[in-house]
Structure 1
């Protein structure tokens, strides 16, 4: 029996594993229970949007439903081989390996996934240690309290008798410092646990705004249709707890509102069909600044643009003001980014459009087309320094294992998690390098 003829059976097995009733699953995906019954008994073919919706509800990749675990295992092995970049790997024999040694193939695929998860955790922790003021303050409190306890204990441990008054005083200090250490340690653990569960990051406005935009998929149908204003949406957003976050979100939404009004989605989609993803051509057609077209292309639905897109906006100091992550191009949290990004090249050459193909080394990285430009955020005035901004649209290759073009330039995410050797732009050693310290920061 052909592999795709078992899709319905796999859907049924997954549903039963999750303890879902057929009627409940049908309701969740928007079809009738009788139609789902036909699908599960392989009497109706399934694909497209319905397959993706079913896979999302069942919590699996669509390929597992259509091809089965075997095909998914082979795909994982191919991905591991591609990311290892080892010429000696026999890619053409991966099917044979998975068939003859399925157990070892599972171990290799699972190890590959675990390594990827650990590297993502390292990146996340590195970003938080570098840029999270609350975490830094908590760690400082714990370390300073531990140092105070160590100092007091050292005095009490010295040979010789202390006067009773001084001994009692040191004991009180030791007890108070120990209590303070316990309280600050509990607070630190609670903060880390809350952060891991996606709870609001305690008054960090930019992260509140990023969580808000991420939750909406960076797309606001109300602004596209002109049904609500940017300020109304920002005021009603439950993800924005602080006044600073609401102010930042309202400013970003106001830009979105202006772009949607002057570059309506339906007209932009028609122009994309004629011109392709050519930001400079599209900007001229709509009579808008190029940075606004980059901003607009990054937030329209993926099915309209025809591919996923990312966006980074920074100020003249290089600090990231707004970012839309995209698979295939790692974006560190605010600041400490790779200085080789086209974003910063554009920042040094105001008004000049920059187009570059770049490639980030590391797992799951892809060749990306980047379009960048910097502009003055306000009209130029004599005797006043210009306020510069820069924006970069990121369009990663749609194939993870696609060969890297010869003209693609190597870049990183940030120095702390970049594995490139011999980079003249490196600021500090990478925490992902070998312990032998083969590469050091070049100052």
Structure 2
């Protein structure tokens, strides 16, 4: 069990909370009061066995006296400190102070929890802003209503300006402009009411789950992106799984699910689970070698890797992004630290899009994802023509390309990592050469 340099501080705080004297606690754990004094002042480390004895005497779990109990709190505070600098403000906390986060938590646990809670709330609000910004950029109803509001405001301003700037206007024209103002006021009021009513109907936590693709991904996420039914010798038909999924409420979502499950069933037959895991343990995470070993399409290997059971073959967490030739994301399995936009386009620097310009050529790149706590990810990208049903396949049929990007946390931080973001709307990289629109969070 990991123990921090402040284990003694926690022992002392717990002893005082129980109104125990040093001598009483020292007697209970079988050490001298002088040695306990050194421990409580963090001048002696506590062994594993002694920590358990302290925990029993203080009536707490051993982890409560170790740093593991507060690791999430430490991470939240580090993220809060990094967020200030990311937002464009000069760094307020020196690196030497960051090393004293543990001491801050030990001395002021209440304030530390308040800051962590505020940071969590800020993260939630930023996700809401991102959701609404994407809706406003993609939702045709919102665009129409906003246009209606702006049009009415412009008309009102023009009529009012004429009345103010023309004191000797004829009564007939004055009446016309007043009538126009009254009419445009009603129009503006109706448009504003419709807009507010529509926005009120959107729950902040919904995040656009009404979209068919969101329904499919939510259902898959609830299953851990793994379909154990397809690993059996007698797998059920995709339609059977869909019939048991109330999350797939829309008919379009069920159509997407049918296409996805049909392909997943074919992947499980091409790459059976046990042989695939055995090969993975032997070759490591190398999609190219796995594809060559099984004589399988690279796309099938990408999908299979991203849908293995959690913890299989000691694999790290894996994410998967799929897009068509237009760059539209058609499947998104997110990865912690590598957020994926729901409706806006992704970062133009993702190798996912570069693969579209270099079909059939595998790309392996390390990516430096922008954020409060920048992280590095290993990525594999590949693009190939999407197989077409025999009914529509023809010699002169158009070639429909599909690109995929498999991502996993990098074990080391590479100096040559490519800086990327989630999407331009929420990317803090102000000097990015690929930026196509201003960021909502960059200063």
TM-score normalized by structure 2? 0.71
Residue 308 of structure 2 corresponds to 300
- Work out the CA distance in 1 between the residues paired with 2:354 and 2:419: 14
Residue 13 of structure 2 corresponds to none
Residue 358 of structure 1 corresponds to 367
Residue 227 of structure 1 corresponds to 235
SS at match of 1:260: helix
Residue 76 of structure 1 corresponds to 76
Residue 351 of structure 2 corresponds to 342
Residue 132 of structure 1 corresponds to 139
Pairwise CA RMSD: 4.1
Residue 105 of structure 2 corresponds to 98
1:64–1:144 distance in 2 versus 1, CA, 3 Å: farther
1:151–1:135 distance in 2 versus 1, CA, 3 Å: same
| 1:390 equivalent among 389, 403, 411 | 403
Could you list the per-position Cα deviations for residues 250-271 of structure 1 after superposition, in whole angstroms to 9, with x for gaps in the alignment? 1111111111222222332222
Which stretches in structure 2 are left out of the alignment for 5+ residues? 11-55
SS at match of 2:415: coil
1:246–1:168 distance in 2 versus 1, CA, 3 Å: same
SS at match of 1:337: coil
- Work out the CA distance in 2 between the residues paired with 1:227 and 1:382: 34
Which stretches in structure 1 are left out of the alignment for 5+ residues? 7-40, 48-62, 435-443
1:88 and 2:94 correspond: yes
| 1:328 equivalent among 316, 330, 337 | 337
Which is worse superposed, 348-357 or 183-192?
Answer: 183-192
Q: Is the 8 A contact 1:142 1:185 kept in 2?
A: no
Residue 198 of structure 2 corresponds to 188
| 2:251 equivalent among 235, 243, 250 | 243
Could you list the per-position Cα deviations for residues 172-215 of structure 1 after superposition, in whole angstroms to 9, with x for gaps in the alignment? 9568636733651343133323x6346852xx333333333333
- Residue 376 (structure 1) shift: 0.9
Residue 283 of structure 2 corresponds to 275
1:262 and 2:275 correspond: no
* Larger RCO (CA under 8 A, 6+ residues apart): 2
Q: Which runs of 4+ in 1 moved over 6 A?
A: 44-47, 63-66, 148-160, 165-172
SS at match of 1:359: strand
TM-score normalized by structure 1? 0.71
- Residue 154 (structure 1) shift: 8.2
| Higher radius of gyration, 1 or 2 | 2
- Work out the CA distance in 2 between the residues paired with 1:346 and 1:118: 34
- Work out the CA distance in 1 between the residues paired with 2:64 and 2:219: 31
SS at match of 1:363: coil
- Work out the CA distance in 1 between the residues paired with 2:185 and 2:377: 57
Q: Is the 8 A contact 2:131 2:207 kept in 1?
A: no
- Residue 103 (structure 1) shift: 5.1
| 2:326 equivalent among 293, 317, 320 | 317
1:133–1:255 distance in 2 versus 1, CA, 3 Å: farther
1:113 and 2:123 correspond: no
- Work out the CA distance in 2 between the residues paired with 1:408 and 1:88: 25
Which is worse superposed, 270-279 or 119-128?
Answer: 119-128
Q: Is the 8 A contact 2:366 2:378 kept in 1?
A: yes
| 2:299 equivalent among 291, 308, 317 | 291
- Work out the CA distance in 1 between the residues paired with 2:196 and 2:439: 30
Q: Is the 8 A contact 2:291 2:298 kept in 1?
A: yes
- Work out the CA distance in 2 between the residues paired with 1:148 and 1:249: 48
- Residue 234 (structure 1) shift: 3.0
Q: Is the 8 A contact 2:424 2:436 kept in 1?
A: yes
Could you list the per-position Cα deviations for residues 113-139 of structure 1 after superposition, in whole angstroms to 9, with x for gaps in the alignment? 344334333333332222333433443
Q: Is the 8 A contact 2:367 2:376 kept in 1?
A: yes
